Structure 1
């Protein structure tokens, strides 16, 4: 009984301390200008205290809702959420900025943040090239976020082709489209292993039709060749091989015919 009472008193004391601390902080900020809020928020952002930065940006906007600094705080809020691994909040903040300020000089950055936030667990361009031995391949995951990220970057370069973020967005789009294609390749490999050859051929055919410029096309054609071969669809098999020999005359798949699902020759870092 005494322990329970002591625990309740301790919890009450801690909550009271937090309440007092929060009140003291609010009182200390009463005379802050918009510039002061913005400067302090940026300092927290630099220090990596992203949640603290968000609170200050939001307080700034509530105290000084109009003007250039408030607009910039809204934009920085989206970035702080992104850096704090809160993609949904980052996208919501970016969407809000776009809705409120569609003609702002930096609205292209809001579109860029949306693309980054949905770039599947915040993997950077170097991140997908330098993965650890136990890190899952992005293409092995649900492609929904990859498609969403692709569309966000696409909207950026369509609306702002000369944006300083356009070049990086195009690089990310190129990676994303191959990742989406490889997602279908993983499914086709699975169908081959389960001897569902028609499903495998159809999935591989989708890659060839929808994503022809991607490296995934090479393995897609190989899967089609093997699936049609088992199904004794000789004409379709020969057509797939003909296309493969024209487009990938030096293909590892044509030279050695490895098992479906074997790593392509270019994956040398695994």
Structure 2
């Protein structure tokens, strides 16, 4: 048997990358539990006494639970309607790619991924303002529309791998095209639905720029906006800022740790043709 040989250059790069990722997290965690005096002495050392006072003060100053509710509302409804609507659009395109109109439509959606948001930012703000959707509902609508390009790309590859014979058999048994999708296709899309749902949730929860230009009422601010305002107002008190960052990050970290395998499985299954 051949001896195993380690690829030291790759291993070294992985170690460096891990350190670069974990070091800022370490700084954030330890300083969130410190007093300002301890942080001034050293940002690397462990706190002398772990205290939750910073978290309680950050919750009060940022109106954290209101912002948390807004982010949760936007994320949940964005994920639900994105999965339902984007899968329908992708199914129509995937099963009609032999038609020129649908091929053009598919490439049109794919090309939208290469359009930078700042280019269309002002027209979007103008349109949303004119129809009275500069609020959380308008934000949900924009996330659904903006996610369409990338999600159609993912869904189309996955749906192509599903045998058409399943649909033909269902139609022969008297199932309508609408019933075929909801009873046959949609249940088979569970892996890619999970992938799209997780990626959409991470995006909607962590996004900063779109809420910044859409949400005009401070009571509608999501967690990323609250962190921005908090940092601007309390730029010298890093302990409160770090505590607030941890509370904002924790839900998505937990979600990703438990569901990360669905992202890989969904993408890889969509790349395999039967």
Normalised TM-score (structure 2): 0.21
Structure of higher CA gyration radius: 1
Normalised TM-score (structure 1): 0.22
Structure with more of its chain in helix, by fraction? 2
